[in-house]
DNA sequence: AAAATCTACAACCGCACCAGT
DNA sequence: TACTGGTGCGGTTGTAGATTT
């Protein structure tokens, strides 16, 4: 039987106090990150190591960018989610100063609902059939789907108000895709995205490690190529 | 003004992965 | 090769504050 990551008894849970934050900051400033398991004891914190790590990474790290997401950040998140799915850490890696937790929360509380309102299934980035077909007076979907710009105009495009998040979820679960054939067929040929993957701060690699990394890049590129064939939201960024 | 409901986000939990033995 | 411990990740929960009824 595997030991739990930390002793449950005697450890604090829930919101962090100012004093706890300060202790953690002071300790990491003095000793650096690493060995989260032993850190709480060494820093005089009655917390689980995992909890300390999370607090540091998501909140206390000095390079964290707080505050609202910019429009371009939001666009990038949607774009990357269409390519990578729920790999929040990968997505956050492309947004300087943002954490995976923050990106995940923002997706769930803002972007997801926005996409649903537009009639786009946030899970697979496909258009849902419950949204009225394009017509001159209620043309949100077609406007978005054919736009050559970004997602910036999405909010102006919600003509039929949806009252609650519950309704949004309900609509999402009821909806089925109508464009599967289109997206897997001819329309996917129109996608012309730059698939270059830039790895942040690439380390100097030698020999085996470099080969491993290259192999990984190809795997990811292949995966992205597959996703592309099914993600109409990507067309929004052309 | 009070109660009910919703929203945003910090934090927790369990699992998977990886390196060391 | 199997096992173990440490760490990271994604899903989920809890809750304070805001908004609506």
Which one has a higher pLDDT value, A81 or A172? A81
Q: Which nucleotides of B are covered by protein (CB under 7 A)?
A: 5-15
Number of domains chain A contains? 2
**A38-54 per-position pLDDT tens digit:** 888 888 888 888 899 88
CA–C1' span, A33 to C5, in Å?
A: 18
Q: Residue A164: what pLDDT?
A: 42
- Treating both helix axes as pointing N-terminal to C-terminal, what angle do A71-84 and A207-228 enclose, rounded to 10 degrees? 100
Question: Is A208 a member of any domain?
Answer: no
CATH number at residue A96: 1.10.10.60
Q: Which residues contact A2 (CB under 8 A, 6 or more apart)?
A: none
Q: Is residue A127 part of a domain?
A: yes
- Check whether residue A90 has its CB closer than 7 Å to nucleic acid strand B: no
Residues A81 and A56 in one domain: no
- Any strand B atom closer than 7 Å to A55 CB: yes
Same-domain check for residues A114 and A152:
yes
Q: Are residues A79 and A25 in the same domain?
A: no
**What digits encode the pLDDT tens for the residues A152-210?**
443 333 333 343 443 444 444 444 333 333 333 333 333 333 434 344 333 333 344 44
Does residue A231 fall inside a structural domain? no
Q: Do residues A176 and A100 share a domain?
A: yes
* Residue A80 in this model has a pLDDT that exceeds 50: yes
Residue A89 lies in a domain: yes
Give the closest residue to C9 (Cα–C1′).
Answer: A89
Instruction: Give yes or no: residues A77 and A119 share one domain.
Output: yes
Choosing from A190, A211, A232, the residue where a domain stops is A190
Q: Are residues A109 and A79 in the same domain?
A: yes
Range of the domain at A29: 18-60
Instruction: Provide the CATH number for the domain around residue A41.
Output: 1.10.10
Tell me: do A76 and A170 sit in the same domain.
yes
Strand C atom within 7 Å of A19 CB: no
Residue A94 counted as domain residue:
yes
In this complex, the answer to whether residue A162 has its CB under 7 A from any atom of chain B, a nucleic strand, is no
Same-domain check for residues A106 and A79 = yes
Backbone φ and ψ for A120, nearest 5 degrees, come out as: -110, 130
What's the pLDDT band for A9 if we cut at 50, 70, 90? low
pLDDT band per the 50, 70, 90 thresholds, residue A129: low
Among all strands, which nt has the closest C1' to A2 (CA)?
Answer: C4
How far apart CA A228 and CA A60 sit, in angstroms, is 36
Burial A2-30 (b: 16+ CB within 10 A, else e): eeeebeeeeeeeeebeeebeebbbebbee
Is any atom of strand B within 7 angstroms of residue A110's beta carbon? yes
């Amino acid at each position: 039987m595997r030991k739990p990551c930390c002793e449950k008894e005697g450890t604090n849970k829930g919101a962090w106090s100012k004093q706890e934050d300060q202790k953690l900051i002071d300790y990491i400033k003095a000793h650096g990150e690493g060995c989260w398991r032993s850190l709480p004891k060494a820093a005089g914190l009655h917390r689980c190591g995992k909890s300390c790590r999370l607090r540091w990474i998501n909140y206390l790290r000095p390079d964290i960018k707080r505050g609202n997401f910019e429009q371009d950040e939001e666009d990038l998140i949607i774009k990357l989610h269409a390519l990578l799915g729920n790999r929040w850490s990968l997505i956050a890696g492309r947004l300087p100063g943002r954490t995976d937790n923050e990106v995940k929360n923002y997706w769930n509380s803002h972007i997801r609902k926005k996409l649903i309102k537009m009639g786009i299934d946030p899970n697979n980035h496909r258009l849902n059939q419950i949204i009225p077909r394009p017509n001159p007076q209620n043309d949100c979907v077609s406007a978005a789907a054919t736009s050559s710009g970004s997602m910036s105009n999405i909010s102006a495009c919600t003509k039929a108000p949806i009252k609650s998040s519950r309704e949004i979820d309900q609509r999402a679960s009821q909806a089925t895709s109508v464009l599967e054939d289109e997206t897997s067929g001819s329309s996917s040929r129109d996608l012309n995205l730059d698939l270059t993957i830039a790895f942040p701060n690439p380390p100097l690699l030698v020999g085996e490690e470099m080969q491993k990394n290259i192999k990984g890049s190809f795997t990811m590129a292949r995966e992205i190529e597959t996703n592309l064939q099914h993600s109409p939201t990507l067309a929004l960024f052309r």
